[in-house]
């Protein structure tokens, strides 16, 4: 269930009411405060909308022009206890948790492609942590680096942009990923050289056996499989009401660790290892985007099927 807070100009009131009325049992707890809103001026309108219907309602409100001449704010309802909410959730095809609010997904995608100083700092810090984990062969540091790394956001945004044909989002996501990783690797090369100069890293850091972390610079077909599965799980966590799987996604792929291994290899002159580390990085990035795009395409097909079933049910009820 989602809670809508809208400011409705007087001239749009009738059309907005018609949109809400059209969706019947999927919208409940409608409350209107006439003329109380300012900047923009209008009525304050509150209501609860079943998640499965929210995308359609937002699209129709956009067609009316409410987002341009008034305003729409949407937030999740963690707990709703009433007969209406129970009936709406029960009637949602596929379950409310499975419903995709495309406007929410695209808004998140837009937020994730902003190349900021904070993003670059997180990338650099995560890659340096990964470098320490690689040199010391400590898996716990590798896990920490993967959690700190913010790279999944732009990758998910790229998948959304591909499927929704938002090519500007795809381009901005690619720029964020490339600049983020290039800058992080350069900073980590400098960091590794400093650690070698003071004797905290050995000069041949990756020559020794690394039974716990050696897989990072040894790409194989399973690297792609794991990245593909991580992309599927990650996009599902972003598009559904359940986001608990996202942390598991972050620690299941070797993107940031591979960048850290490449930086250490560059610093120590181990060019072959640097190359295989970059291959590992590229394989995981491509796999994550592919898995995310395929998942979104399947979700679009399911949403369209559910929309047809919902319309058929309304015609039958009428």
Whole-angstrom Cα distance, residue 173 to residue 176?
5
Mean pLDDT of 34-49: 95
pLDDT-derived band at 243 (thresholds 50, 70, 90) equals low
Q: At residue 204, does pLDDT exceed 80?
A: yes
Question: Rounded mean pLDDT of the chain?
Answer: 87
Q: At residue 37, does pLDDT exceed 50?
A: yes
Give the model's pLDDT for residue 193. Answer: 97
Query: Would you say the pTM of this structure is higher than 0.75?
Result: yes
Which span out of 45-49, 83-87, 150-154 was modeled with the highest average pLDDT?
45-49
Which strands make up the sheet holding 2-8, listed edge to edge? 27-37, 42-49, 2-8, 71-76
By mean pLDDT, which of 30-39, 55-64, 248-257 is the weakest?
248-257
Q: At residue 314, does pLDDT exceed 70?
A: no
pLDDT > 70 fraction of the chain, expressed in percent and rounded: 88
User: Closest Cα to residue 185, out of 296, 245, 266, 269?
Assistant: 266
User: Closest Cα to residue 273, out of 155, 131, 176?
Assistant: 131
Give the model's pLDDT for residue 88. Answer: 52
Give the model's pLDDT for residue 60. Answer: 94
Give the model's pLDDT for residue 300. Answer: 84
Mean pLDDT of 138-160: 91
Q: By the 8 A CB rule, do 88 and 14 touch?
A: no
């Amino acid at each position: 269930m989602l809670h809508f807070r809208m400011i409705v100009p007087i001239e749009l009131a009738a059309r907005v009411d018609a949109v809400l009325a059209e969706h019947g049992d999927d919208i409940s707890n409608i409350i209107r405060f006439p003329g109380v809103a300012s900047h923009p001026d209008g009525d304050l309108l509150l209501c609860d909308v079943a998640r499965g219907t929210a995308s359609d309602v937002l699209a129709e409100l956009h067609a009316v022009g409410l987002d341009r001449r008034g305003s729409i704010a949407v937030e999740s309802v963690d707990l709703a206890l009433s007969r209406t909410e129970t009936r709406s959730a029960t009637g949602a095809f596929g379950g409310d948790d499975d419903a995709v609010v495309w406007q929410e997904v695209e808004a998140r995608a837009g937020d994730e492609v902003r190349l900021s100083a904070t993003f670059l700092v997180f990338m650099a810090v995560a890659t340096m942590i990964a470098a320490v984990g690689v040199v010391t062969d400590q898996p716990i540091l590798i896990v920490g680096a993967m959690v700190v790394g913010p790279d999944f956001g732009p990758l998910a945004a790229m998948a959304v942009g591909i499927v929704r044909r938002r090519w500007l989002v795809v381009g901005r996501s690619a720029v964020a990923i490339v600049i983020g990783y290039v800058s992080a690797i350069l900073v980590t090369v400098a960091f590794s050289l400093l650690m070698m100069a003071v004797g905290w890293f050995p000069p041949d850091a990756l020559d020794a056996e690394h039974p716990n972390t050696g897989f990072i610079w040894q790409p194989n077909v399973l690297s792609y499989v794991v990245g593909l599965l991580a992309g599927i799980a990650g996009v599902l966590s972003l598009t559904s009401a359940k986001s608990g799987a996202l942390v598991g996604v972050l620690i299941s792929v070797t993107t940031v660790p591979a960048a850290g291994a490449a930086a250490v290899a560059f610093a120590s002159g181990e060019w072959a290892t640097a190359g295989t580390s970059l291959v590992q990085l590229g394989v995981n990035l491509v796999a994550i985007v592919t898995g995310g795009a395929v998942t979104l395409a399947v979700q679009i097909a399911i949403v369209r099927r559910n929309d047809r079933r919902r319309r058929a049910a309304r015609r039958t009820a009428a």
